[in-house]
Amino acid sequence: MSKLKVIDSIEEMQEISANWSEEVGFVPTMGYLHEGHLSLVKAAKENCKIVVVSIYVNPSQFAPNEDLDTYPRDFDRDKKLLEELEVDYLFFPKDSDMYPQNYKTWVNVNDLTKGLCGKSRPTHFQGVTTVVSKLINIVNPNKMFMGEKDFQQITVLKRMVEDLNFRVKIIGCDIVREKDGLAMSSRNKNLKSEDREKALSLSRSIKLAKNLFRDGEIESRIIKEKIWELINSSGAKVDYVEIVDPVTLEDVEKVDEKSRVILAAYVGSVRLIDNGNLE
Ligand code: AMP
């Protein structure tokens, strides 16, 4: 018998979370769960007594021209997966409760949100930092488990929890990939079958960068050029390719094993991201 409790009321979740007496692990998600999400849930289960997962497709992190309406959703399937993993609470708030009509407050992290995904999605991180702040206040966790798949996001959120003195520790977890290397993403569902090869150009780019570095290449510019070629010749369209310092997210000219290759590309109408270090 599953013990998963589904909660859609902010007040009810806050009443419960005000009295946590044991270590609470939290995994915020937008649902349509895959093995990447489940790896975070498993890490939370291993580390914490109580596990809360949220499913909320946060409208404020999507620009009007983005894929909010077509973002994949399947609540019943997600719920079943979380029951199987013996998650304690599934928090599933409503838009009208998260952003009531008179909503006015936004959280912003400067600098770290300007480049990379922030360039083509200038309002995205404000939506992410705001919703995660709200979720932390509602769920009151000790630890939050997040994927390195969204490397800029986790970097921004680590800065935010430190700067705003949130009493939560963010634990970064490795990227989970399909057998062929494609980083798992809910958006992969929207890929057409003929686009799979194009989508693979992202993970192949990370491999290419590692190989070039292993063979002695340290010029960021040259590695980036080769990645542009690889992605564009696959039929996908580069949004950006950068090699950055993993802490400051600033561009590096000469790379080392800790440098982070971060990229985004459009595969048809689907925008995918990937990243990796050069180790
Ligand atoms: P999302 O539902 O896309 O908002 O993602 C929720 C959480 O799952 C975030 O912390 C993501 O970084 C993480 N995540 C998404 N895809 C993966 C993946 N392939 N491997 C590891 N973590 C992931």
Kindly state whether residues 109 and 239 are assigned to the same domain.
Answer: no
Spatial CB neighbours of 142, under 8 Å, sequence gap ≥ 6? 23, 24, 25, 48, 167, 168, 169
**Ligand 1 neighbourhood includes 184 CB (under 6 angstroms):** yes
In a domain, 198, yes or no: yes
Name the residue of 26, 38, 149, 171 whose CB sits within 8 Å of the most ligand 1 atoms, as the mutation to test its pocket. 149
In a domain, 180, yes or no: no
**Ligand 1 neighbourhood includes 135 CB (under 6 angstroms):** no
Kindly state whether residues 76 and 211 are assigned to the same domain.
Answer: no
In a domain, 179, yes or no: no
Kindly state whether residues 125 and 201 are assigned to the same domain.
Answer: no
Per-residue pLDDT of the chain (279 residues), as tens digits, is 459 999 999 999 999 999 999 999 999 999 999 999 999 999 999 999 999 999 999 999 999 999 999 999 999 999 999 999 999 999 999 999 999 999 999 999 999 999 999 999 999 999 999 999 999 999 999 999 999 999 999 999 999 999 999 999 999 999 999 999 999 999 999 999 999 999 999 999 999 999 999 999 999 999 999 999 999 999 999 999 999 999 999 999 999 999 999 999 999 999 999 999 999
**Ligand 1 neighbourhood includes 36 CB (under 6 angstroms):** yes
In a domain, 181, yes or no: no
User: Domain count of the chain?
Assistant: 2
Quote the CA–CA distance of 74 and 88 in Å, as a whole number.
Answer: 19
Kindly state whether residues 104 and 131 are assigned to the same domain.
Answer: yes
First to last CA, the chain: 44
**Ligand 1 neighbourhood includes 37 CB (under 6 angstroms):** yes
Enter the tokens of residue 157.
């959120």
What CATH number is given to the structural domain containing 269? 3.30.1300.10
Cα 62 to its chain centre, rounded Å, is: 14
Structural domain for 29, as ranges: 5-173
In a domain, 157, yes or no: yes
Enter the tokens of residue 199.
């989508």
Ligand 1 atom 18 nearest Cα: 36
Residues catalogued as catalytic: 37
In a domain, 190, yes or no: yes
pTM metric for this prediction: 0.98
Picking from 146, 173, 200, the residue at the C-terminal end of a domain is 173
